């Protein structure tokens, strides 16, 4: 039997439910319940409905699971229990230490849907060593195409991706192929188009500010409505969709001055649910605060996140390999910066940040599990927010590209690859949207204005034309190449290298191995790099031969590497993986 439709509207004097097609709806009165909630009739699955609040509306349900008519249309009821799950033997996967793979549903396949990611592709990812697929946001957003960070129906699954039933099918398939699934969630703001939450109650506040507009109300009067909205949303993804992890976008914008931060509340409730379900459930935060409190357990006064993204590692690695120093890369690029992040996680851990113009961050204790930090050489932000959306693979030499992959996969951290990186995809991943007017033109003009005069011409070696995010070709050009890895010898080399680096990971998975062989980075000459650890990564990015001592043969090589009585001789643009002396 279906449950009654419910909505939180604490200040309303009258709420009605409009049921059925928009041209001939049936209106049903809703009755007040406890704590600002209103209850209506029981509706069968696949019934369209919307709410009228004090004569205004109709508006979609704030907790709508399904928006088949778009973000402005009525909601549709969804029976989460109807799917016959086939993952009964799934024991779950902890985000810590699992090899992540970030993908955008719309550009990962020609079809651009969840169902288009078929069993063959999932088997391929699992065979490559991927353990956790991280989906960019699926919450319904305006139009058909976009990154998803302007979602407005946070309980729903975007219709162009297949809707909620397709997400259940996808997670079920992934689990049956041994892959966990992480979903990117945005709680710090909602998009501007189709955001009707304020029509129902005090979900937002002007007591705080965010770069995207209204701040969510976490600590002002009636904040319990938004707090439960967030916590219930997260728990629902775990229960109804069998997800293994959530990635929480830009949590530094979740301003909460209440006695108990919303992240700590969410962490504790997630831990309770994990105990009840009998499988690990992970929360990974994106935070620019460089504060280990983010991943400190709530029992020790922290916010209790399972893991967090470590952008400083990306910045140090990217700036070293590319030589770029613009924007937030200005403090990075030296071997000293690279060594520090591999040892200490954050470059800015209490010292001065030139980009921010102030002291920033706090130290990470040596006892903190380094698997709590997710690292990458590419992700949607670091690629898509470049003026042309160009990937490092399109600019790096083959050896530098191979080095970047090894430096991520064999680090002490939790590694993540961005879709296509496993075979050296060079097609761009750009910022794209599908807004109605006048917002569409405003977004296009704003994007082009934002990238004007920021030094991109110097970086790209001449004048550039920033892609129009509203142009459908920008979206289509961002799709992964079809069959590209099979057609290119260069891509096949990268594929083989990734497979060899994945195999070498086995020596890095024991904490004792890192205690015996601590992480770090050094140069024996400029651009002749070694990452230290249980598996040493030697990369010759210089124009001269690089000689490294090696007591045993290389585990894997990329480029020209020869053995000599002094060890290994790496030609320019070559990389070698060598087990540290005494390492298993």
| Token reading at 34 | 């406890």
- Is the CB of residue 262 less than 8 Å from the CB of residue 254? yes
CA distance 413 to 461: 35
d(CA 191, CA 433): 12
Cis peptide, bond prior to residue 58, ω within 30 of zero: yes
Which residue has tokens 């520090």?
340
Task: Report how far apart, in Å, the C-alpha atoms of 456 and of each of 254, 315, 330, 394 are.
Answer: 31, 17, 15, 16
Alpha-carbon span 95 to 105, nearest angstrom: 20
HSE-CB for 498 with a 13 A CA cutoff: 26
Yes or no: say if 225 and 8 are a contact pair by the CB < 8 Å rule.
yes
Residues 61 and 75: their CA atoms lie apart, in Å, by 6
Residue 346: burial class (beta carbons within 10 Å; 0-12, 13-18, 19+): buried
Residue with tokens 């997670």: 171
Q: At 256, is the secondary structure helix, strand, or coil?
A: coil
User: Could you tell me which of 277, 275, 196, 194 has the C-alpha nearest to residue 241?
Assistant: 277
Return the active site residues. 249, 286
Phi, psi (degrees; rounded to nearest 5) at 202: -80, 65
Q: Please tell me the distance from the alpha carbon of residue 82 to that of residue 60, in angstroms, as a whole number.
A: 23
Please give the Cα distance from 248 to 265 (Å, whole number): 14
Instruction: Name, in order, each residue with C-beta under 8 angstroms of 369's C-beta and a sequence gap of 6 or more.
Output: 96
Distance, CA of 561 to CA of 573 (rounded, Å): 10
For helices 311-322 and 335-344, what crossing angle results, to 10°?
Answer: 160
Q: Strand, helix or coil at 238?
A: helix
- Strand pairing of 180-185 and 15-19? unpaired
Give the integer Cα–Cα distance in Å for 385 and 578. 35
CA 565 vs CA 418, 534, 560, 570, 574: distances in Å = 39, 23, 17, 14, 19
Residue 16 · residue 60 · CB < 8 Å = no
Closest CA to 391 of 471, 310, 484: 484
Residue 3 DSSP label: P
307-309/31-32 β-pairing: unpaired
């Amino acid at each position: 039997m279906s449950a009654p439709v419910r909505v939180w509207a604490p200040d309303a004097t009258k709420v009605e439910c409009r049921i059925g097609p928009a041209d001939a709806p049936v209106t049903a009165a809703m009755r007040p319940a406890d704590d600002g909630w209103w209850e209506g009739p029981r509706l069968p699955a696949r019934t369209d409905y919307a709410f009228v609040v004090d004569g205004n509306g109709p508006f979609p349900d704030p907790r709508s699971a399904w928006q088949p008519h778009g973000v402005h249309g009525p909601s549709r009821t969804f029976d989460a229990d109807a799917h016959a799950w086939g993952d009964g033997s799934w024991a779950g996967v902890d985000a810590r230490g699992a090899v992540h793979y970030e993908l955008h549903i719309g550009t990962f396949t020609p079809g651009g849907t969840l169902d288009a990611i078929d069993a063959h592709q999932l088997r391929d990812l699992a065979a490559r060593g991927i353990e956790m697929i991280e989906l960019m946001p699926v919450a319904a957003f305006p139009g058909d195409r976009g990154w998803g960070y302007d979602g407005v129906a946070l309980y729903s699954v975007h219709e162009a991706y297949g809707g909620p039933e397709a997400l259940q099918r996808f997670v079920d398939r992934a689990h049956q192929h041994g892959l966990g699934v992480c979903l990117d969630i945005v709680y710090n703001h909602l998009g501007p188009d189709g955001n009707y939450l304020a029509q129902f109650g005090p979900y937002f506040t002007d007591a705080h500010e965010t770069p995207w507009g209204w701040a969510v109300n976490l600590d002002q009067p009636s904040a319990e409505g938004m707090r439960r909205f967030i916590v219930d949303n997260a728990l629902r993804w775990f229960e109804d969709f069998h997800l293994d992890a959530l990635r929480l976008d830009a949590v530094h914008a979740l301003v909460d001055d209440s006695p108990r931060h919303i992240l700590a509340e969410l962490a504790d409730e997630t831990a309770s649910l994990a105990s009840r379900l009998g499988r690990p459930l992970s929360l990974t935060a994106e935070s620019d605060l460089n504060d280990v409190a983010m991943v400190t357990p709530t029992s020790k006064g922290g916010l209790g996140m399972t893991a967090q993204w470590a952008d400083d590692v990306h910045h140090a690695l990217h700036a070293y390999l590319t030589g770029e120093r613009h924007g937030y890369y200005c403090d990075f690029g030296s071997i000293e910066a690279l060594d520090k992040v591999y040892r200490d996680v954050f470059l800015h851990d209490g010292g001065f940040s030139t980009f921010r113009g102030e002291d920033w961050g706090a130290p990470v204790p040596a006892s903190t599990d380094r698997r709590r930090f997710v690292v990458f050489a590419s992700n949607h932000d670091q690629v898509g927010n470049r003026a042309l959306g160009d990937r490092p693979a399109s600019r790096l030499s083959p050896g530098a590209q191979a080095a970047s992959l090894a430096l991520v996969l064999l680090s002490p951290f939790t590694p993540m690859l961005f879709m296509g990186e496993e075979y050296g995809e060079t097609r761009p991943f750009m910022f794209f949207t599908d807004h109605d007017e006048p917002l569409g033109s405003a977004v296009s003009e704003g994007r082009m204005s934002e990238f004007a005069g920021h030094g991109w011409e110097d970086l790209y070696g001449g004048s550039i034309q920033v892609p129009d995010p509203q142009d459908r070709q920008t979206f289509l050009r961002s799709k992964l190449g079809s069959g590209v890895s099979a057609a290119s010898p260069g891509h096949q080399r990268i594929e083989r290298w990734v497979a060899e680096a994945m195999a070498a990971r086995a020596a890095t998975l024991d904490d004792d191995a890192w205690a015996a062989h601590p992480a770090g980075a050094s140069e024996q000459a400029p651009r002749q790099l070694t990452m230290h650890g249980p598996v040493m990564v030697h990369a010759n990015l210089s124009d001269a031969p690089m000689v490294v001592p090696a007591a045993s043969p290389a585990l894997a090589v990329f480029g020209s590497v020869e053995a000599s009585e002094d060890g290994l001789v790496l030609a320019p643009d070559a990389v070698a993986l060598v087990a540290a002396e005494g390492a298993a």
